[in-house]
Structure formats: C-alpha cells, structure tokens
Amino acid sequence: MKLLKYLILSIVLSGVTACNIEKFEEEVITNIPDDNTVDAGLAVFSANIGNTTFIADNPVATVIDNAINITGIKTSTGELITLTVVGNTVGTYVLGVTENQVEVNSASYVTNLDGSGNTWIAATDFVTPQGEIEIVEIDLENETISGTFAFTGHSANGLEPLEFTRGLFTNISFASGLVTSDDTNTFSAMVDGNNFVQESINAAQTTLSTTSTINIVATKTSLETISLTFDASIVPGDYTFEGLSVPIAQYNLSLTESNLGEGTFTITSHDTENRRIAGTFSFTASPVLDTGASFEITEGRFDVSYL
C-alpha cells in the first residue's frame, strides 16, 4: 500500500503542476447524457464512480514527447481523477502493467488533494491489467484531446476497490509541453554529484478545498523529475523535508520509480504579490520500496515565478 501512496503523490503533483489550474475559456458540460454523447465543441471530463457520477468543472491536459496527462478537477470538493499514458498518439493503453519496471500507464482518484481524503490507483502488482484508456483523437490544430477510460481503483488506505466506468474526456484543451511560467525561472541541482540538467521548469499555485500549495517541478525528457511542494503562505526561513506532509521533496526517475526526500531547505525570498519564490535545498531521496538505491540531491537552487 505504501507504493500506491507514493505513486499517487508523484502522478498527481506532476500532473496538476504541469497544467495551469486556471479554468480554460471553453464551455464545460455539467450534465452527461446516458449515451455518453455531447455536443461538438463542448469540453467534458466525467466518469461513474460506483453508483455516483463525477463531473469535472476544470479539466486540463498536457501532451509532451512521450507522455499524455489528463486531469479532471472538481474544484468544489477537491476531488480529481488523473490519467497518464506513456505515449503521444491515439490508441488504447492498458493500465497498471509494466514490462520494464519503469514505464506504466496509470489512473488515480483522490477525494481531497490536501491529504485529508482517500486515494485509489489503477495498479496492484504491475502485471495484472486494471483497465484501459483509449485516446480517440488528438486535435493538433485546436489543441484538444478526446477519449474514454475505465478502470478498477485500489485504495492506498485499505478501503474497498472502486469501479470507474463510462469514463469520458472530450475536447480537453492541452498544453503541448511543460512550459516555464516565466523565462527568468532558474533551477539547478546535483544528483549524486552529477548536474541535473532539466529541459523544463514549471511552477504553479494550486488551491483545492482549503489547502493551497506551490508546486515546482523540474523535468527531463525521460520524465525524470525533481519536485518541491511548499505551503503557499510560506515565509523566508529554514525548514525541513520529512516525508509525505507538506513541505515535500521528491526525486523521480520515472512514473514508477519515486524517491521521497528528507533534508533541509531555505526560502530566501517569497513575493506573494508578484508570485515569485526563491530558495536553496538539499535532501536524501530514498526509494518508496524496501529495495533500491538512494540519491543525494545537493546544491539545489530555485528562483521561479508561479502561475
């Protein structure tokens, strides 16, 4: 169960931070017909969760070199469903199975992103399929993505599995990469003494339910990331990373290789009016499983504007 918790944390933080949480301008449907048909041009992200219907009021997506991430957020409750596939083309992607222990297509459901709720993910042993996502259309001209999904979600907290059926995402606007929120953003770190050379820096403030956090993600093409999460009201000073409670540090080699950090960081400045934060950090990133290597993240620095 510990693996499920960390996978959800990794996927959700990366997925939500990769997208601008501000609502898109297109019209979002709020009532899904029984036959799953919607009018052309309307954006929709919905699913049946057991006997209830989930309808997102803020669906967002990204399509990068080798990954598609689609998130349906219900801002009134803090619920969200996150879909991630390793690939960038139309087709059917099986969930919860990996052959190389690195890449896995995933789906997760979180009842409250502030950590007070419960979580489910479409994975058990990474051998048994738990559902599928079908990417039906990627409209490059209009930058929208459409498809369907269904999966069995397994709880990270020992609760009964949930069935997610009639999953639908239609005309969801996507960003074509992890774009920096400001050209002046800087981020640097050493991983076991080697330079971590990121290809993108993304920072965003997310507010779901009563919790607001700043998430910074530095990403390499291989989906290798260093991510930092702070309370949005944090002030200059010295702090510690201690695990799953905010503040959080992670070093992830891939979607399934997550390492949680313990260490220290300093916020050197935080301009809440202009939404810019700077600081330094170092931490030991330990594997979420009992086996595997740990990594020393040192000489970390960031100075970023966040959306």
What is residue 172's three-state secondary structure? strand
- pLDDT above 90: percentage of residues in the chain: 31
- C-beta of residue 106 within 8 angstroms of C-beta of residue 123: yes
pTM above 0.85, yes or no: no
- C-beta of residue 13 within 8 angstroms of C-beta of residue 262: no
Structure tokens at 77: 């409750």
Sign for the pseudo-dihedral over CA of 237, 188, 218, 110: negative
State the Cα–Cα distance between residues 23 and 281, nearest whole angstrom. Answer: 32
Using pLDDT thresholds of 50, 70 and 90, give the confidence band for residue 11.
very low
Angle at CA of residue 149, ends 115 and 173, nearest 5°: 80
Full DSSP string of 250-267: EEESSSS-EEEEEEEEEE
State the Cα–Cα distance between residues 107 and 100, nearest whole angstrom. Answer: 19
Which residue in 191, 230, 237, 260 sits closest to 8, CA to CA? 260
User: Which pLDDT tens digit goes with each residue over 174-221?
Assistant: 866 544 444 688 899 999 999 988 877 878 777 655 567 888 888 876
* Residues in the chain, overall count: 307
User: Which pLDDT tens digit goes with each residue over 87-139?
Assistant: 888 999 999 887 655 567 889 898 876 556 688 889 887 789 999 999 999 99
pLDDT at 54 over 70: yes
Q: Is residue 3 exposed (0-12), middle (13-18) or buried (19+ Cβ within 10 Å)?
A: middle
- C-beta of residue 64 within 8 angstroms of C-beta of residue 195: no
State the Cα–Cα distance between residues 275 and 21, nearest whole angstrom. Answer: 15
Using pLDDT thresholds of 50, 70 and 90, give the confidence band for residue 25.
very low
Element (H, E) at 47: strand 44-49
Angle at CA of residue 297, ends 295 and 300, nearest 5°: 170
Q: Is residue 133 exposed (0-12), middle (13-18) or buried (19+ Cβ within 10 Å)?
A: buried
Which residue in 188, 221, 205 sits closest to 277, CA to CA? 205
State the Cα–Cα distance between residues 83 and 132, nearest whole angstrom. Answer: 10
